[in-house]
Amino acid sequence: MLASTLVTFFMPSTAVVQIILVTAGFGWALVNINSLPMVVDISTESLLGTFTGLYYLFSTLAAIAGPTVAGTMIQNTGNNYSTLFLMAPACMAVAILCMLRVKKGEAKTGS
């Protein structure tokens, strides 16, 4: 996903953007499908509701703040929409750095 959105910045033709966004969409689906199960895996049974609530809280906050931050960035760059394709990989890189610190959530063995 990170690479595909970065390529879009350097090749902004409509056909390239469409193909790369479809590819990035599949990548996002792989991340999105596995995020809540990972949260459940790192939680204890007594804190499952708290962890799930925090997951949805921050997911919703990102959905609220993302368009505002993106719109501000576009506006501050003279309505240059291609800046989105620089902002997206930067945010993904920060997310990868955060995920490297996660030490729990591995698959549990059946005992």
Quote the CA–CA distance of 86 and 90 in Å, as a whole number. Answer: 6
How do residues 52-83 score in pLDDT, each as one tens digit? 999 999 999 999 999 999 999 999 999 998 88
Question: Where do the structural domains in the chain lie, given as residue ranges?
Answer: 2-99
In this structure, how many other beta carbons lie within 10 angstroms of the beta carbon of residue 8? 24
Give the chain's mean pLDDT. Answer: 86
Q: How confident is the model at residue 25 (pLDDT cuts 50, 70, 90)?
A: confident
Q: In the chain, which residue ranges form alpha helices assigned H by DSSP?
A: 2-10, 14-42, 48-76, 84-99
